[in-house]
Structure 1
């Protein structure tokens, strides 16, 4: 169920995606969310609280789009290639704003330890889920392989946002990476 705070944060996330972090102001969120002036400041009184709220919402939306915990992903090389590949395609398509906001917020987290800590909590939840899948899919080095795969997918999305490849086969690319890592079928 959506609430007023979620609507504000989603509007803020869209602003970060469209304008960068500099475009995230209380007034801009009010306008984008279609709420009375001062509503965002009432919910998030400081710029820091607004940025942290948008960061938390971005993490939530990213976990949703990643088919995170509880999702039905086949624990096999092909199942993981499909899951990671479809994540890439969602990040470039229907969830493009989340991906764009994520990169802007990540750059800010490099400068602000408080945001880094928020991302660390979200990453722990996703990593626990994904590590189990990678292990069951046949990786002999699951921690290493998950790191390689996550970094590859992150880089692929980042690159494709700026320089799209016509007819991108994201699933095939992830499958090629898994094969290069030398997984065995359990």
Structure 2
């Protein structure tokens, strides 16, 4: 495994800090210390906190799309079952091994809602997931794949939020792949109506 470049290391470390301590824990100095970098390294690459948060958005989008692509290309033929299984595997990954990263993404998204200069970075970061969902749903025969993708991404975000930080975060047992597959199938079917 290769060593990440400094920018990637800084963004990954910043994401970990946000997941662990929220935005109050995100400082240039804290990133330097957690990454084991000399003091001033983070501010050399990302002069402002806004630039550092923008780097987090970009890295989160890159990692999330990498997860989407990890299961291979979308089904070549109209196979709702395969699409639902792929979505369920993605949800399972994000609720387990990717949990901290998704918590950081939600935290950073809320910051963008309150800080207008961060909104363009968040918007750009979110377009990749919607493009992937649009392509998959178009392949499954959606009449209006862009609209269907908006719904599917919104439902996916809702499940993630509810299980990670919402009402079910503490009361729901560990994610179950079979249950998530059933939920994903209903979501895919509903998006294609």
* Shared fold, TM over 0.5: yes
Say if 2:125 is the partner of 1:122. Answer: yes
CA contact (8 A) 1:55 1:115 kept: no
SS in 1 for 2:69: coil
Structure 2 counterpart of 1:40: 42
SS in 2 for 1:172: helix
SS in 1 for 2:114: coil
CA contact (8 A) 1:134 1:146 kept: yes
CA contact (8 A) 2:148 2:192 kept: no
Structure 2 counterpart of 1:145: 148
Structure 2 counterpart of 1:86: 89
TM-score (normalised: structure 2): 0.85
Cα 1:96–1:42, aligned 2, differ >3 Å: closer, same or farther? same
Alpha-carbon deviation of 1:41? 1.6
CA contact (8 A) 2:112 2:119 kept: yes
Q: Deviations over 1:45-90 (max 9, x none)?
A: 222221221222122112212228x941215211221222111111
Aligned residues: 182
CA contact (8 A) 1:67 1:83 kept: no
Comparing 102-111 and 115-124, the one that deviates more: 115-124
Structure 2 counterpart of 1:25: 27
Alpha-carbon deviation of 1:43? 1.6
Between the aligned partners of 1:170 and 1:146, the Cα distance in structure 2 is 18
Structure 2 counterpart of 1:11: 13
Alpha-carbon deviation of 1:128? 2.3
For structure 2, the residue ranges without an aligned partner over 5 or more in a row are none
CA contact (8 A) 1:13 1:98 kept: yes
Between the aligned partners of 1:153 and 1:127, the Cα distance in structure 2 is 11
TM-score (normalised: structure 1): 0.87
